[in-house]
């Protein structure tokens, strides 16, 4: 795990407030998570109530502009748990296409603490719009639901599974 200390956590809380406020000026934001894996500084996830096409990209631009240290952001719908990395991965895998849904900002001002930035102090930033499309296609991006899934006893079918 990333070697975070208590000041990283408190800085992360401040960054979350900054990010939330920046996003709410552009889109209907639900929640934000500046992640531990990014040192509570470099990576963030945000969920939004998408009102129109383009909200995901607007959220990316607002997020990346909220703090020079933020390097990567993923924007998802409200049905995705931004505190569960597997849920974020699911949203990226099922709802995003790199050629359509990634925003890359080359040569942006970044943190001097970020080890991959170049000697000029600039870095590339990226945002992923992992929101589902609006309109007629939206239903195709809903989660598959298995009827009575909660009643399935997996050990019945795989007794040696621990």
pLDDT in tens, 46-97: 999 999 999 999 999 999 999 989 999 999 999 999 999 999 999 999 999 9
pLDDT at 156: 87
Supply the pTM of this predicted model.
0.84
- Looking at 2.60.40.10, 3.40.50.2000, 3.40.1670.10, 3.30.930.10, the CATH number of the domain 6-157 comes to 3.40.1670.10
Strand partners, 21: none
Q: State the Cα angle at 42 between 18 and 98, rounded to 5°.
A: 105
Q: Domain coordinates of the chain in residue numbers?
A: 6-157
pLDDT tens-digit readout, 7-41? 666 677 788 999 999 999 999 999 999 998 888 78
| Structural tokens at position 56 | 């995901």
User: Hey, is 109 helix, strand or coil?
Assistant: strand
Q: pLDDT band for position 5 (50/70/90)?
A: low
pLDDT reading at 2 higher than 60: no
Q: Which of 124, 82, 81, 131 is nearest to 105 (CA)?
A: 124
On the CB side of 125, CA atoms within 13 Å amount to 27
pLDDT averaged over every residue in the chain: 88
């Amino acid at each position: 795990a990333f070697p975070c200390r208590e000041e990283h956590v408190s800085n992360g809380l401040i960054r979350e407030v900054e990010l939330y406020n920046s996003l709410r000026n552009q889109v209907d934001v639900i929640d934000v998570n500046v992640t531990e894996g990014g040192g509570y500084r470099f990576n963030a996830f945000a969920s939004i109530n998408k009102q129109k096409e383009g909200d995901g990209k607007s959220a990316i631009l607002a997020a990346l502009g909220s703090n020079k240290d933020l390097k990567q952001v993923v924007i998802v719908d409200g049905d995705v748990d931004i505190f569960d990395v597997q849920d974020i991965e699911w949203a990226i895998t099922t709802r995003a296409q790199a050629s359509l849904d990634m925003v890359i900002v080359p040569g942006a001002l970044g943190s001097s603490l970020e080890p991959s930035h170049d000697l000029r102090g600039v870095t590339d930033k990226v945002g992923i719009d992992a929101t589902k499309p609006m309109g007629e296609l939206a239903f195709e991006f809903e989660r598959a639901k298995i009827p009575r899934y909660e009643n399935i006893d997996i050990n019945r079918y795989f007794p040696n599974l621990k």
